[in-house]
Amino acid sequence: MRLYNRADIERECDEGAFRRGLGYFRQGRVSKVKISAGGKIIKGRVRGNYASSYSQDISISEFGGQTAIDGDCTCPVGFNCKHVVAVLLQGLREPLSPVSTAAPSSGKPGLDPKVKYWLDGLEQAVSPPDGADPNAYPDDIRQRLIYVLAPSDAVGPIDFLPAGLRIFSTRQLKKGGYSKNVSTYDPENVLNYRPAKYLRPIDLEILRHLYWARRSDPHVGISGLHDLSRITDGAVLLEKIIGTGRCHYGGLKGPRLSLGPKRRGKFIWRTRKDGAQKAGVRLSPADGEENAPGEQENFVHVLPLVPAYYLDPAKGLCGVLDTGLEPVLAAQLAKAPPLSMQDAALVRQKLEKMLPGEAETAIPLPEAPANIETRQIAPKPVLRLISGDLEYDPDYFRMHRYYYRPRFEKITLPLARLAFDYNGHEIASDSPEDVIEHKQGDTLFLIPRDRTAENLARRVLDEQGFERIEDTGLFSSRTRHQDDFFLMPLDDDGLPPKRPSEELYFHDSTRFIRLSTDVLPALIKDKGWRVEVAADYPYRIAEGETQWWGDVGEGSGIDWFSFSVGVEFEGEQINLLPALMEVIGRLPDDFPGAEDIETRDELLEEIFHENAVLWHRLDDGRLLPLPGPRLLPIVRILLDLYGGGKGFSRLEDGLLRLSPLDATALTELEETCADVRWHGHERARELGNMLLKAARNGFAKNSATAWIARRPAALSAGRSQLARLLAQGRFGWRAGR
């Protein structure tokens, strides 16, 4: 017998959760259901939005004459949510458990869930466990509510929000640490009439405090980030949060914070690497202690609360701070944003007029230069070509979105990053600063950015098809490359293709090679750009002289030779036979062979035309250009030898095995390619000369590579098919340089 039915689910879970859970169930989002203990325990897993998934632990019991459902979930709601509903509905389809110790629900009205929840609490209050801490977690509850103070992602116009707080729900692992499945917890969930079981009484108190503070001041919590400095009694709330023992600094992997003793300290201005000054505190030695080596230089954060609190991440301590100032004044001073050198000069002037003489010693003034000078400098565009890891949405290339497909897939792509050099002072194109500051001696030089010139440089990238990652609508926003550029494909009219595809966007190398060979040299020479190419950028061009070589050596077996051909570049011999075989292998199936050599040669000349280039990737990732006309006679001879590549089974370790009768073709190749440096087996070359002379005197070779009369023939349909392949870049060739 089943221990619950659909009516029980509707009664135990609120209407909204049941409706949404029913939708999840019908969409097939339940990926796992495990029923045990005679149906009393149900474990499940449900796919949420995008690629997230949540786990459920559900217990079925009987209370007040009806079925009670207690469903914990790792989602932000946490209890009897839509994911729990979906698992329970899926459980009704699972095979019945052979063991059942409880009767099914009668379906009759029982206690109101709110009354039942009140009775549960009353029972715990009447008979509390001896000496038990109500805020401690029992062994069977692994889900945790984690508080993160000064989260590392709280970076924006104010640079740093030390009193910022994020709340997460995650599972604590038995081996220590937390699960990777983490979700943000909304304090509003505390209004559920039955909060999640893993919430301790202190959590409920904190969440209610945050919820009502946010109701009175919407700026307290924005996008899951709660600003304790905007709460009137934020200091009291902070101590409760740290007292849970589940408060970390910076992130889930950051140090766990503890309440520290009250300390004395003095405000100072600290100059950062970027030249900006940030207000902080230098702590005085604790009572009975002396300064440790270097402690005077230790910079601790100040939480702008009333009273102010110091935050020492190195020691994992947070406590009340005594600065000698009025608490409200100290809190306001701690809120100071980072000051640029220009702002520091103006702030210093304001403070000198604002503060009385006594306060001037307690509130330090930021350092400021004695002189300020403005310079007008024309920017020099700097384009850096890099390789970046991104996540893209595959549904971008489909007419209809596939709901059950994971939303994003990983890919590594060539990217571009734009910056501007103002006489040795470089600034990123996406930087919001309007003025570049440079201090030299006692003088502060201000360089206003030339936005007009910068916009012209961006327009050049736009004309080539570059688009900011953030603006493409193709990639995930969870990347550090949001402001970098990707070279999008364009049609002949300079517009996006009508039929986008992953092959065209990510695997068509034509536009990237054109960028490296044509566009970048023009930007450097004609427009004065500086271009820097990273070592991992996949379209670096190898430049330098090449020397072609051919080698004929002793092969395995009686009267067999080995043959290889390639180029020497930067002192290294590169065997090109495997690459040439790959090109031949891409020829259409109906490509003319020995029966129509004239047509075949005309088609080969179209492929290996004057401006055609084959790009061979070197071991270091660079692309070595190989001119098509140089490859034409070699490919023609290979086709003469093996007719369409079917004989390439005789390739061993990058070398071709040749019979003595094949020596004629090698001799013809040697005559055609006069600049190729030949070396190797003299007997094969002598034999080839002898056979070639005999063939020219009217004797045909008795071999598979016999000469066939070259009769005229009309070009076959293979020409149009080959033209289409060339247009698609299927051969790795370029139409022109």
- Three-state SS for 541-595 is ECCCCEEEEEEEEECCCCCCEEEEEEEEECCEEEECHHHHHHHHHCCCCCCCCHH
Tell how strand 546-554 and strand 277-283 pair up.
Answer: unpaired
> To the nearest 10°, the Cα dihedral for 13, 19, 23, 26?
70
Q: What is the mean pLDDT of the chain?
A: 80
Q: Which of 109-118, 180-189, 231-240 has the highest mean pLDDT?
A: 231-240
More confident residue, 652 or 268: 268
Q: What is the pLDDT of residue 721?
A: 41
Q: What is the pLDDT of residue 451?
A: 94
Confidence of residue 558 (pLDDT cuts 50, 70, 90): low
Confidence of residue 707 (pLDDT cuts 50, 70, 90): very low
SS3 165: strand
**Strand ranges for 257-349 from DSSP E:** 258-259, 263-271, 277-283, 301-303, 309-312, 317-322
The DSSP call for residue 50 is T
Q: What is the pLDDT of residue 284?
A: 85
Name residue 169's beta-bridge partners: 145, 183
pLDDT in tens, 218-258: 888 877 889 999 998 999 999 999 999 999 998 899 999 99
Q: What is the pLDDT of residue 673?
A: 79
Mean pLDDT for 347-354 is 84
Asked if 401 contacts 408 with a C-beta cutoff of 8 angstroms, the reply is no
Confidence of residue 104 (pLDDT cuts 50, 70, 90): very low
| Range of weakest confidence among 182-191, 524-533, 652-661 | 652-661
Residue for token pair 């609490």: 121
| Range of weakest confidence among 219-223, 277-281, 303-307 | 219-223
- Distances in Å between the Cα of 609 and the Cα atoms of 510, 542, 577 are 17, 21, 20
More confident residue, 180 or 571: 571
> To the nearest 10°, the Cα dihedral for 19, 21, 23, 25?
-140
Q: What is the pLDDT of residue 593?
A: 79
| Range of weakest confidence among 232-246, 375-389, 633-647 | 633-647
pLDDT in tens, 65-87: 788 888 888 887 888 889 999 99
**How many DSSP H helices and E strands does the chain contain?**
20, 33
More confident residue, 426 or 114: 426
Q: What is the pLDDT of residue 615?
A: 92
Residue for token pair 């300020």: 372
Percentage of the chain exceeding pLDDT 90: 30
Domain boundaries along the sequence of the chain:
6-126, 143-258, 260-284+296-368, 380-533, 546-727
pLDDT in tens, 677-706: 887 756 656 665 665 565 555 544 433 233
Q: What is the pLDDT of residue 722?
A: 39
Peptide bond into 307 cis (omega under 30): yes
pLDDT in tens, 384-435: 999 999 999 888 887 655 544 557 889 999 999 999 999 999 999 999 889 9
More confident residue, 274 or 188: 188
Q: What is the pLDDT of residue 454?
A: 95
Measured CA to CA, the distance from residue 437 to residue 441 in angstroms comes to 13
| Range of weakest confidence among 18-32, 95-109, 123-137, 697-711 | 697-711
In this model, does residue 733 exceed pLDDT 60?
A: no
Asked if 318 contacts 259 with a C-beta cutoff of 8 angstroms, the reply is yes
- Distances in Å between the Cα of 19 and the Cα atoms of 24, 25, 72, 337 are 9, 10, 18, 47
What's the number of CA atoms in the CB half-sphere (13 Å) around residue 378? 7
| Cα angle for residues 674, 676, 678 (degrees, 5° grid) | 110
Greatest pairwise CA separation for the chain in angstroms:
117
Name residue 264's beta-bridge partners: 322
Q: How many residues belong to the chain? A: 737
Q: What is the pLDDT of residue 540?
A: 95
Q: Residue 459 class from Cβ within 10 Å (0-12 exposed, 13-18 middle, 19+ buried)? A: exposed
Q: What is the pLDDT of residue 684?
A: 59
| Range of weakest confidence among 35-44, 278-287, 421-430, 479-488 | 278-287
| Range of weakest confidence among 90-94, 191-195, 502-506, 721-725 | 721-725
Run of H or E residues at 342: helix 341-354
In this model, does residue 595 exceed pLDDT 90?
A: no
Q: What is the pLDDT of residue 142?
A: 84
Q: What is the pLDDT of residue 15?
A: 83
In this model, does residue 732 exceed pLDDT 90?
A: no
Measured CA to CA, the distance from residue 655 to residue 577 in angstroms comes to 7
pLDDT in tens, 2-32: 788 888 898 888 888 888 898 888 888 898 8
Confidence of residue 305 (pLDDT cuts 50, 70, 90): very high
Q: What is the pLDDT of residue 688?
A: 56
Q: What is the pLDDT of residue 241?
A: 96
Mean pLDDT for 252-270 is 92
Q: What is the pLDDT of residue 624?
A: 94
Interacting residues of 374 by C-beta distance below 8 A, sequence separation 6+: 445, 446, 447, 448
Measured CA to CA, the distance from residue 550 to residue 269 in angstroms comes to 71
What's the number of CA atoms in the CB half-sphere (13 Å) around residue 486? 22
Name residue 427's beta-bridge partners: 420
Q: What is the pLDDT of residue 36?
A: 84
